[in-house]
Chain A
Amino acid sequence: MLINSSRLSISSTGRCLLASAMSQMDEVFGVQKRQMGRRQPKQGKPPILPPSKKVLYHVVHAPWQKPEDVEELLWRRHAYNNAVISLREVFRAELAQNASHGQGIEAMKEAEALELDELIAQNEKRNEEKRAARKEREAEDAKETKSVILEEIRVELEKRNAGKKQAEDEVKNAISRSSEFITRSNLETKILEALEKPTIYDFAIDRAGNKYFVPEPVKYQEGTPTRQKGRLYDQTLGTQHGTIEEANKIQQKSV
């Protein structure tokens, strides 16, 4: 509505409004415009202007020194320079003398090289000693290791021999017990023996090793056996005896 009205109007204020609205829209839609404007002038006098009267023809006159002071300072400077030159000559002569007597830098370098050779030789000697000592120590270690291994082999062999002997004994026992084994010939008698002496495993046992048969085993079953067995063992077993050792003690006391 605003844009339409500004287009229609001819006045300058309307054009300004339009321009400002367009620039705002540009900023909103991300179109950047460089702000062109006048630069700030540098501070001070423009270069085109001549120097001011205060500066122009203002010559600095250094104050003149007294002639006797100048003379004295010149003399002192000469004396100082001559002293330095003499000292340099003295030092040069000293260095040359040292070099000629074998005390110069070159001689020191040679001495250093000799010293280094000597130190390296000492190090080599020490290395050799250590090498020999290590060889000896390793030989001893090898000997000790060998003895340990041999001992281990001996123990293992003894163990195996013992196991072999035990197995032999077991076989011999089995062979000796084989006379009582059940065969076709003695089957009838063994069955009769089993009927006479039945072995019953239907019992409870406590920590003291007491067996509780419920119901009490009978040689021959009479009547109809009870069906419900669940509550038969509904009793606390073995609390009066404690551990096996305690039970054994109680038994020994009672005996």
Chain B
Amino acid sequence: MPFMHGSMPLRRTFFYLQQGKVKLRDNVNVFSMGFHKNPTPEQSGARDFVYWNWAQLQYHNPKVQLVKHADKVVTPFARAYLNDGREVLFDLDGMKREEIEKLLAKTLGKTELVERREHLESIAKLNPADFGSKNERQCMCEVQGQHPCTGLLRAPQCVTGKYRWNHNLI
């Protein structure tokens, strides 16, 4: 199995995917990147970024369309298409992988302000009366004073669905 050799399996591990630093803003709809498969030393940073960080980008930005352009133009570049129609171009000539990551995280990444705003919005959206996997509590039985789920404690016969008061009715 050639895929299991070298650094290939490493960059697909869950831990490695979680280490990605580039979390693009909500403004970014599409992110494309031009690189070279056989690069010169000036172009190798973009290729390395694609090799090492592309999976992390995909993991952290599931709603962004990510496009790769291999061997299209001389200068390696990155281009982001924002939701208001603007395009942001990055010239990646002569940059290392770490520099590219830093640049993208700084320019298009979520800043402290964005994160604070999103946190506040999530708080405002939160309703303690809601139940479910996306809410604060999964079930009513987690509330203090309420009856626990029947999976944890058997309910009395009179509150189960099978209980019938008057068997003559049905």
Contacts and interface: CB of A to CB of B under 8 A. Distances in A.
B113 A115 contact: yes
Contacts of B94: 130
Contacts, number: 48
B167 A112 contact: no
A60 B158 contact: yes
A134 B158 contact: no
- Secondary structure class of chain A's binding surface, majority of residues: helix
B114 A105 contact: no
The number of chain B residues touching the other chain, given as a range, is 20 to 34
B138 interface: no
B70 interface: no
Nearest to A60: B158
B91 A60 contact: no
Given A123-B88, A126-B91, A116 B25 contact: yes
B4 interface: no
Contact of A112 (B91, B106, B113): B113
B151 interface: no
Contact of A115 (B75, B89, B111, B157): B111
Given A60-B156, A116-B25, A123 B107 contact: yes
Nearest to B86: A120
A209 B150 CA distance: 112
A127 B27 contact: no
Contacts of A116: 25, 27
Interface string B6-40: 00000000000000000001010000000000000
Q: Which 10 A-B pairs have the closest CB atoms?
A: A108-B117, A130-B91, A119-B107, A51-B167, A127-B91, A60-B158, A123-B107, A120-B88, A112-B113, A112-B114
Interface of A: 50-51, 55-56, 60, 95, 105, 108-109, 111-112, 115-116, 119-120, 122-123, 126-127, 130-131, 134
Given A112-B117, A120-B88, 19 more contacts: A56-B167, A60-B158, A105-B117, A105-B121, A105-B124, A108-B113, A108-B116, A112-B113, A115-B111, A115-B113, A116-B25, A119-B107, A120-B107, A123-B90, A123-B103, A127-B90, A130-B93, A131-B91, A134-B93
